[in-house]
């Protein structure tokens, strides 16, 4: 039985948010249904494609994400980019509206950082990523994404742009997370490209 405040939240969803919620649940259901071995093999293919496609300057600051639930396992790609000279960072939840990106260095401990994720500890350097590998629940052929509903990445990207950092935005997902169309909202940040197990698709 949901709590009263949860019922109220559902009742006041706008038509666009209600559609996004349904698309999110359907796409995540398809992702959850993938065979575990398929997810592992697809994550390795994603790493191979990304390493062959991304040409970054030494010292480029790349944000990624530690996998939760049935997400793409981005670690092979991240570690490959680090071998190529990139500096890595992961998102950590600071409060109900904010994520920051802490540097991921070899051998550093990982701590729980919210939403079931793990990340660098509080004494890690805070970085401003210029190349972002963005998690998502669903995406469409235009490069629009549906996140997990909390808006953390939209706000983080807007904050970076306010200080003059315009990061490249690459969504990472499995093919099964594609939907016909993601309804637009003013705060949405379109992706430059989407990386899946079948390839890298760039958008205009």
- Could you tell me which residues are annotated as the binding site for substrate? 71
pLDDT (tens digit per residue) in 61-81: 999 999 999 999 999 999 999
Residue set of the binding site for ATP: 20-24, 145-153
Q: What is the pLDDT of residue 127?
A: 97
User: In this predicted structure, what is the pLDDT of residue 51?
Assistant: 98
Cα-Cα-Cα-Cα torsion 59, 84, 61, 98, nearest 10 degrees, comes to: -150
State the average pLDDT over residues 95-102.
Answer: 89
Binding-site positions read: 20-24, 71, 145-153
Residue 10 has pLDDT above 50, yes or no: no
- What's the pLDDT score for residue 2? 37
135 and 191 in contact (C-beta within 8 Å)? Answer: no
CATH architecture entry for 4-202: 3-Layer(aba) Sandwich (3.40)
Q: Which of 18-22, 83-87, 174-178, 187-191 has the lowest mean pLDDT?
A: 187-191
pTM of the model: 0.89
For the chain, the distance separating the N- and C-terminal CA atoms, rounded to the nearest angstrom, is 45
63 phi and psi angles, rounded to 5 deg: -100, 140
């Amino acid at each position: 039985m949901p709590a009263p405040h949860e019922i109220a939240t559902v009742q006041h969803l706008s038509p666009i948010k209600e559609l996004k919620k349904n698309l999110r649940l359907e796409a995540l259901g398809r992702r959850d249904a993938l065979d575990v071995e398929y997810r592992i093999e697809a994550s390795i293919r994603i790493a191979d494609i990304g390493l062959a496609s991304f040409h970054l300057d030494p010292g480029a600051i790349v944000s990624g994400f530690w996998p939760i639930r049935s997400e793409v396992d981005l670690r092979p790609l991240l570690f490959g980019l680090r071998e190529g000279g990139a500096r890595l960072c992961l998102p950590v939840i600071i409060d109900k509206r904010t994520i920051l990106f802490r540097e991921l260095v070899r051998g550093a401990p990982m701590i729980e950082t919210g939403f079931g994720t793990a990340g660098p500890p509080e004494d890690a350097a805070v970085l401003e990523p210029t190349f972002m590998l963005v998690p998502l629940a669903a995406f469409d052929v235009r490069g629009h994404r549906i996140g997990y509903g909390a808006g953390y990445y939209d706000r983080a990207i807007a904050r970076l742009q306010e200080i003059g950092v315009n990061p490249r935005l690459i969504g990472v997902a499995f093919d099964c997370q594609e939907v016909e169309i993601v309804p637009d909202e003013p705060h949405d940040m379109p992706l430059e490209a989407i990386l899946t197990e079948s390839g890298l698709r760039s958008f205009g």
